[in-house]
Structure formats: C-alpha cells, structure tokens
C-alpha cells in the first residue's frame, strides 16, 4: 500500500428537507388549517484531528464526504428528521485548502471539530401560514448544503530517518519495514523530498511510526550543495537517526565521520541526536569482516545493528529498536 499524503476531495453538507404543504381537512363548511411540518436541516461536515491516524489513506478510493440530507416535513406538523453530521478524522499536521477561495486551515492538536461544510436549512412547512391559497406561493424548499472542493496535504514528521550515502540500502529498508514503495537502486538524485512510510506499532494500540528515507547525503550538503538543506531540516525533526553504512564499504569509519562532519556544519545539535548505526547488506560479507566493522564503529558508542533485507531476524531486531527509540 502506498502512503497517501496529498489528496483532493469533495465535501458537501446535506440538503435541507422540504417543508410540508399539508392542510388539515376539517368537516365540510369549516375552514381548513395548514399543518405541514418544517423540513429537517441537512447535516454538517466537520473535521477533527486524531493522533490515531497518520495518513490520508481513507481517501484512496473514497473521494467525497457528504453529510445526510434532512428529511422532508410531514402533515400534522411533523418536523422532518435532521440529517446526520459527518466528521472526518484527519492526522494532525494536515493542511486543508479550499480550492475555490484559497482559504487554509491547519489541523493541529486542537480537539474541537471544525465546521467545513454546513448543511442546508430545512424548508418551512405550511403550519402557521394563513389559510387560503396564498400560502402556496411561499417557498418551502430546503436549502442546499454547502459544497466545497478541498485539497488535503499532510506534512508528515518522521519519527525515524534513514540517512547515509547513496546505495547504502536506505530505500530498501524503508520498503521492507513500511507500506512505502520507494525507488530502489541507484537513484541518488531522483527525489529531493524524502519518501515516507508508516510502520504499525501494535504496542501502542494501533499507533504508527513514521519512517523517512532521506535521500543520499553527499559531501557539501550542509553548504547547500546537492540535496542540501531540505533533507537536513527533515533530519532535525526525527527522534532517532538510522545511519546506514553498507558492509560493502571498505572504510566505514571514514564514512561515519563524513556524515557527521556534514551534521556539524549544518547544526551541531544533530550530533547529540539519538542514532543507531545500521551495517547494511550484511549478507554480502563474511562473519569475520562483519565483526571487524562492528569493532571499528564501536568507538562511537552507538547501538550497531547488522542488517540485511534478506534476513528476517535482523529486520525483526531493527523493528524493535526503532519502536523502542520512537515511542
């Protein structure tokens, strides 16, 4: 499944029900009294942020949210049923843009629902109108519900970010652990924006952990070259960095230092961030070589996990470490 973080939907309040034009028939010779009830109001559409949701996948196929129409009024002055409201739960951080007006609302952590499209009012029934044909000229139609085209954009803040040089295996790990489908292979410059995926976190009762594959770090990124600032900014917000160094690397020490040199130039605080070193593609090396590389990197006092996308045990371990560091 892909992660949907940008979607266009239609929302509409329910239409108001028509008022009834009923007339209470009295015995012949006496006056008749209009007794038609009012139509019910159309339901409203609300949005409310929910931290149990971390994507916009609910709109993958369903592209519209329409509240129920109000029921029509009936004779004997019976009021039509009000249409039920609809509430859209959105992940915090979703920006809602009204395409017609450009108006923007950001779903933050507030708890109060925001009215997005109001329902039409129910039409007036004939009750209380003066008897006689004149009342037939009153309009009793229910009002139309408000209709809007909305653009929803979710800026996900990643809990954990894969960093490292191109070809280190970042995209493969993201694809292995999450619902994301990033391009795998040597595509260091195809995406400037990090790809994101969510990983279920059952421990927290259905919560999700957001992982980011942050495109290849290259020398000079901190001075604005290459992918530069955009991705370093993303790194800043994550709770833990997953520093990927491939076992194919003949000099993991130098690679580690280069990545950290970039951090230092951009923002020293990044060096204080929680970090796990992933020795990736461990299936391409021997036990002895792996031990040697772990030893070399152990001087940095970080957790080191050898992983391979082909080794379930290592993926399981990585999952646990990510959960432990992000929740």
Binding positions for Mg ion, rule: CB under 5 A: 171
Determine which residue in the list 20, 23, 118, 167 makes contact with ligand GDP, applying CB under 6 A. Answer: 167
Kindly tell me which of 175 and 322 has the beta carbon lying closer to Mg ion: 175
Nearest approach, Cβ of 306 to ligand GDP (angstroms)? 10
Name the nearest CA neighbour of 241 among 252, 226, 231: 231
Radius of gyration of the chain (CA): 30
Containing 154, the helix (H) or strand (E) segment is: strand 147-154
Determine which residue in the list 92, 93, 131, 166 makes contact with ligand GDP, applying CB under 6 A. Answer: 166
Residue 283 touches which of Mg ion, ligand GDP, none (CB < 5 to 8 A by kind)? ligand GDP
Determine which residue in the list 284, 290, 294, 315 makes contact with ligand GDP, applying CB under 6 A. Answer: 284
Residue 167 touches which of Mg ion, ligand GDP, none (CB < 5 to 8 A by kind)? ligand GDP
Residues 6+ apart with CB under 8 A from 166: 186, 187, 188, 215, 216, 218
Determine which residue in the list 13, 40, 143, 169 makes contact with ligand GDP, applying CB under 6 A. Answer: 169
Nearest approach, Cβ of 261 to Mg ion (angstroms)? 21
Question: Cβ distance 265 to 298 under 8 Å?
Answer: no
Under DSSP, the state recorded for 70 is P
**Is residue 310 at the binding interface for ligand GDP, with CB under 6 A as the rule?**
yes
Determine which residue in the list 128, 185, 220, 224 makes contact with ligand GDP, applying CB under 6 A. Answer: 185
Site string for ligand GDP, 129-158 (x = CB under 6 A): ------------------------------
Nearest approach, Cβ of 277 to ligand GDP (angstroms)? 14
Question: Cβ distance 226 to 218 under 8 Å?
Answer: yes
Residue 196 pairs with which residues in a beta bridge? 212
Distance CA 190, CA 201 (A): 30
**Is residue 314 at the binding interface for ligand GDP, with CB under 6 A as the rule?**
no
The Cβ-side half-sphere exposure at 221, using a 13 Å CA radius, reads: 29
**Is residue 224 at the binding interface for ligand GDP, with CB under 6 A as the rule?**
no
**Is residue 66 at the binding interface for ligand GDP, with CB under 6 A as the rule?**
no
Beta strands 94-98; 147-154: pairing state: antiparallel
**Is residue 234 at the binding interface for ligand GDP, with CB under 6 A as the rule?**
no
Beta strands 104-106; 94-98: pairing state: antiparallel
**Is residue 168 at the binding interface for ligand GDP, with CB under 6 A as the rule?**
yes
- Count each helix (H run) and each strand (E run) in the chain, helices first: 5, 16
Question: Which residues form the interface with ligand GDP (CB under 6 A)?
Answer: 164, 166-172, 184-185, 216, 280-281, 283-284, 308-310
């Amino acid at each position: 499944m892909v992660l949907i973080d940008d979607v266009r939907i239609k929302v509409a309040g329910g239409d108001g029900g028509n008022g009834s034009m009923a007339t209470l028939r009295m015995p012949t010779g006496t006056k008749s009294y209009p007794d038609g009830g009012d139509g019910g109001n159309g339901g409203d559409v609300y949005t409310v942020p929910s931290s149990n949701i971390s994507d916009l996948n609910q709109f993958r196929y369903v592209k519209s949210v329409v509240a129920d129409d109000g029921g029509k009024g009936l004779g004997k002055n019976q009021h039509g049923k009000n249409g039920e409201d609809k509430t859209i739960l959105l992940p915090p951080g979703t920006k809602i843009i009204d395409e017609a007006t450009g108006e923007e609302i950001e779903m933050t952590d507030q708890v109060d629902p925001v009215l997005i499209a109001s329902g039409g009012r129910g039409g007036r029934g004939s009750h209380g109108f003066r008897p006689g044909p004149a009342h037939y000229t009153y309009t009793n139609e229910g009002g139309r519900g408000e209709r809007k085209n909305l653009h929803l954009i979710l800026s996900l803040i990643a809990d954990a970010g894969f960093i490292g040089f191109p070809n280190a295996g970042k995209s493969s790990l993201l694809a292995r652990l999450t619902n994301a489908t990033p391009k795998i292979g040597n595509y260091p410059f195809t995406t400037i924006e990090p790809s994101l995926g969510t990983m279920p976190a059952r421990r927290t009762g259905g919560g999700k952990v957001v992982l980011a594959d942050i495109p290849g770090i290259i020398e000079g990124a901190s001075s604005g070259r290459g992918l530069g600032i955009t991705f370093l900014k993303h790194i800043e917000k994550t709770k833990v960095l997953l520093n990927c160094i491939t076992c194919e690397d003949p000099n993991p020490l130098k690679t580690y230092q280069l990545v950290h040199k970039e951090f230092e130039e951009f923002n020293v605080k990044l060096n204080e961030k929680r970090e796990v070193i992933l020795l990736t593609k461990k299936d391409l090396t021997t036990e002895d070589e792996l031990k040697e590389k772990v030893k070399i990197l152990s001087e940095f006092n970080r957790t080191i996990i050898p992983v391979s996308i082909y080794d379930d045990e290592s993926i399981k371990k990585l999952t646990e470490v990510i959960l432990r560091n992000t929740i």
